[in-house]
Amino acid sequence: MRTCSLLLLVAFIALAESFHGRHHMRDKRELLVRAKRRWVLSTIEIQEEDPGPFPKEISKMFNDQTIKEEFFYRITGTGVTEEPLGVFEINAATGTVFALKSIDRESHKFFHIKFDVLSKLSGQKIDKELAFDIEIKDINDNAPTFLPPKMEVKVKENLEEGTTIVNLKAEDKDQRKTNNSKFTFSLISQDPNEPKIELTQVDEVAFLTFKGCFDYDKVKKYDVIVQAKDHGEPSLSSQAFVTLNIIDTNNHAPTFRQKKYQGEVLEMITKNDILRIAVDDRDAPNTAGWRAKYIFMKGNEERNYQIETDPVTNEGILSIIKGKDFERTELTYLLVEVENEEPLTLCKDNKLVGASELPPRDIVNITMKVIDVNDAPVYEKDTFHMYLKEEEPSGKEIFTPKIKDVDSDVTKVRHVLLEDQGKWVTIDAKTGTITSAKMMDRESELVDENGVYKIVIGAIDDGEPPATGSCTVLIHLKDVNDNKPLLATNGAILCGNKAKKVMVTATDNDAPPFSGPFAFSLGDDDKTVTQRWKLDPSYGEQAGLISQTQLPYDNYSVPLLIQDQQGEITSETMVVMVCDCGEGVVCKPKDPVTSSLGKAGIGLLFLGLLLLLLLLFVLVCQCKGKDMVMVQDDGNQTLIKYNQEGGGSACQAEPTLLLTPTRMVAVNNGHKTNTIKTSEISNEVVKDTDLYNSRVVDMINVTSGSQQPRNTFTSSGPARYNTWNVNRTNTGQGSSSMYQRSVSLRSNQHIADHIDRRLYTIYGNQLDEAGYPPHEYAYEGLGSKSPSLDQLSVSNQGEI
């Protein structure tokens, strides 16, 4: 039993290994199997301008991976999804590719198209994307084109034979390096036929040359036609039209109209345009071959003459540029040739002749006669230099010139001064001796910067007409120490906020060694000056003036002594302005005067405001609790206080009737001031006042009907009932205090009686206006004679 089990186990293992081996071999064999796919990958050729019909099948796509599932084909790229669009398409089911229209190769030579096969179920690519190319096969549909097709060329008539006249270039848009794009030039015609024009081709360029020579006088324009023909089937060609415009050159030599000319000139003068020489030339005017050039061949060895060409007439203009001396030459013979600016060229027997065969240049003879004139005296030199010392006394003989005259006796020559700005010299008319007439100052403005004074003298002979010769005498003045050193400027600015030093510059009109460098020193031994200032450096053209202390901003006068090299001393004063320059180099302007409050001023201002608030608080407290009866205003009568000069407070403290006996009250009526004691007020007057006040209250009660007086007694005694209210009325012209009556009284008494009683009460008890009692200033006469106003009732019956 155990043996059978063991055998079964071995058999099972062997079977399993056998199965595993076959499966592994199959997998390996399946990996090595190559899948065959057939794609159309080669380049497809399509003929250009194919006439169709369209759509036209050009290829068919196939892929062997499509047998497993349903699929469709798709193409993309140029001609399909890229410009130009609508050229190719594919049948999605069969893979057939169609061309939809004809194609111009010169517009698009090549198409690159991508090919895909996709699953209909998933839309995914079944196989890798591949591509194919479509190339357009060229046909001969373009003729060679000249660039440009028409040309105009200027050709000089003196060009040598074989010279290239013009270059012609053409191009063909067909496929390069094919017969369709290759072409040949040919000369179709020329008019006129002479000289013979030839054509030479190099690649795509044609060169036009000629044999013989052009003649502007015979033919001025040539018309040439050139053709370019390609080698395609069928052959195409085009033509170029060339116009040759002949330019005239110098092929005619200039000739003189006359062979001889004569002229005359005064000796020793210069003059322009003394003679004109005319020529003829058959070349085109105003060209290089027409303009003449005149050349002296003989007679002008000393260069006395000059000949130029008139640009308009082409004549030769003869001028004298250097005077001729009659004593040496009386007649002058000039030999002049003429040629053109451009070299002469000649065409003979349809060929240009060489330079040796050209005819000689034309020649003219000119005879110039020199007329004798009076020659001027001539000084030995044109310029004489004399040396003197400045400030020498007048009367010193300076110079005696030497002269000669070929026409006259020198003893008959008269000498004059032609230039002497300062009138510093005199001249002897016979001998020409120059003598000083004044002392000469080297520092004068008439002397130049080199210390030279200029004199021009002249010698006049006795000839007809008189002739004058001249020369220049330069007097060099030697300097002496006749000038003191001075300050270049007497003022300076010292920026006290930045520096302590200012430079002082001295000048001296004398020349070395009578001027600087200078020695500077303070010119005052005052301790104030020496304590404030010092000099460093103190020798040279400039000195440094240094402030030794911090100086207040102000102007300071500094005395200075300046000494030159010869010991000449000058006392000068330098005004130094010490100021604040800020960031610049000049004084800042002073700030305008302004007022400002400091901390103490601000504190006082606040203290004053607090006191004012405290005073207002006290007044409010005094007014608080005071009952003031506001009765209806009748508006009938008003009392005006005329001596009131300012506004008063709208709310006034009510004076107390029971006062301390020792308290004094000041009364001001505008003219005098009286002082009374309140203790002197009679108690009876007070009682009468109280009685009067009570009556007034009763009158108010009767009049108003509804108004009830308040308590007329307080804890301290009887309370005063105020029947007057003080109001201020402000106008445009000023302000005044007006006492407006505020109590409406029903009474048969006259207004005058009521006022008298009220004034008596107020004055006796010092009520309302204790410091300023009412006062009757003057009696102005009787009242109106009309009694109607006196009998008016005080009240208006209570109506408002």
3-state secondary structure 502-570: EEEEEECCCCCCCCCCEEEEECCCCHHHHHHEEECCCEECEEEEEECCCCCCEEEEEEEEEECCCCCEE
Instruction: Report the alpha-carbon distance of residue 491 to residue 576 in Å, rounded.
Output: 6
Q: What pLDDT is recorded for position 132? A: 83
Nearest to 134 by CA among 170, 98, 166, 184: 98
Confidence of residue 419 (pLDDT cuts 50, 70, 90): very high
Residue 305: how many CB atoms within 10 A of its CB? Answer: 22
CATH 2.60.40.60: does it fit domain 486-579? yes
Superfamily designation of domain 255-371:
Cadherins (2.60.40.60)
- For 742-797, where are the E strands, in sequence order? none
CB burial string 119-135: b at 16+ within 10 A, e below: eeeeeeebbeeeebebe
| Domain residue ranges in the chain | 1-33, 44-137, 145-247, 255-371, 378-478, 486-579, 629-765
Q: What pLDDT is recorded for position 314? A: 95
Average of per-residue pLDDT across 140-159: 91
Is the whole-model pTM more than 0.75? no
Give the C-alpha distances (Å, rounded to integers) separating 617 from 477, 559, 603, 620, 647. Answer: 100, 70, 21, 5, 20
Angle between helix axes 683-704 and 751-765 (nearest 10 degrees) is: 140
Considering Cα of 440, then 442, then 446, then 450, what sign does the dihedral take?
A: positive
Average of per-residue pLDDT across 651-676: 36
Give the Cα-Cα-Cα angle 349, 350, 354 (nearest 5 degrees).
80
- What architecture is domain 378-478? Sandwich (2.60)
Tokens 């040739």, located at residue? 337
Q: Do domains 44-137 and 378-478 have the same CATH topology?
A: yes
For every residue of 292-308, DSSP letters joined together read EEEEEEES-TT--EEEE
> Order of strands across the sheet with 196-202?
145-147, 166-171, 205-211, 196-202
Structural contact between residues 275 and 256, judged by C-beta atoms closer than 8 angstroms: no
Q: What pLDDT is recorded for position 47? A: 84
Considering Cα of 526, then 529, then 531, then 536, what sign does the dihedral take?
A: negative
Structural contact between residues 207 and 193, judged by C-beta atoms closer than 8 angstroms: no
Considering Cα of 725, then 726, then 727, then 729, what sign does the dihedral take?
A: positive
Strand 96-99 and strand 331-340: the pairing is: unpaired
Residue 24 confidence (pLDDT) above 60: no
CB burial string 729-744: b at 16+ within 10 A, e below: eeeeeeebbebebbbb
Structural contact between residues 254 and 362, judged by C-beta atoms closer than 8 angstroms: yes
Confidence of residue 406 (pLDDT cuts 50, 70, 90): low
- On average, the pLDDT of the chain sits at 75
Q: Which fold has domain 145-247?
A: Immunoglobulin-like (2.60.40)
Residue 216 confidence (pLDDT) above 80: yes
In eight-state DSSP terms, residue 348 is E
Spell out the SS3 assignment of 636-660: CCEEECCCCCCCCCCCCCCCCCCCC
Task: Identify the residue with better confidence: 525 or 26.
Answer: 525
Q: Which of 126-140, 177-191, 335-349, 712-726 has the lowest mean pLDDT?
A: 712-726
Which of helix, strand or coil describes residue 57?
strand
Encoded tokens for 477: 């003045």
Q: What pLDDT is recorded for position 311? A: 93
Helix (H) or strand (E) holding 173: none
Instruction: Report the alpha-carbon distance of residue 555 to residue 561 in Å, rounded.
Output: 20
Structural contact between residues 335 and 298, judged by C-beta atoms closer than 8 angstroms: yes
pLDDT in tens, 225-277: 999 999 988 899 999 999 999 999 998 999 999 999 998 888 777 888 999 99
Q: What pLDDT is recorded for position 678? A: 34
Phi-psi region of 669 (alpha: psi -120 to 50; beta: other; left: phi over 0): alpha
Q: What pLDDT is recorded for position 96? A: 87
Confidence of residue 596 (pLDDT cuts 50, 70, 90): low
Spell out the SS3 assignment of 520-531: EEECCCCHHHHH
Average of per-residue pLDDT across 278-282: 94
Instruction: Report the alpha-carbon distance of residue 567 to residue 700 in Å, rounded.
Output: 115
Query: Any idea how long the chain is?
Result: 800
Strand 196-202 and strand 518-522: the pairing is: unpaired
pLDDT in tens, 448-463: 988 899 999 999 888 7
Nearest to 558 by CA among 540, 587, 578, 588: 578
CATH 2.60.40.60: does it fit domain 44-137? yes
Q: What pLDDT is recorded for position 253? A: 92
Instruction: Report the alpha-carbon distance of residue 696 to residue 720 in Å, rounded.
Output: 11
CA trace torsion 479, 389, 422, 383 (10° rounding): -110
Residue 666 confidence (pLDDT) above 50: no
pLDDT in tens, 104-129: 888 888 888 888 888 888 888 887 88
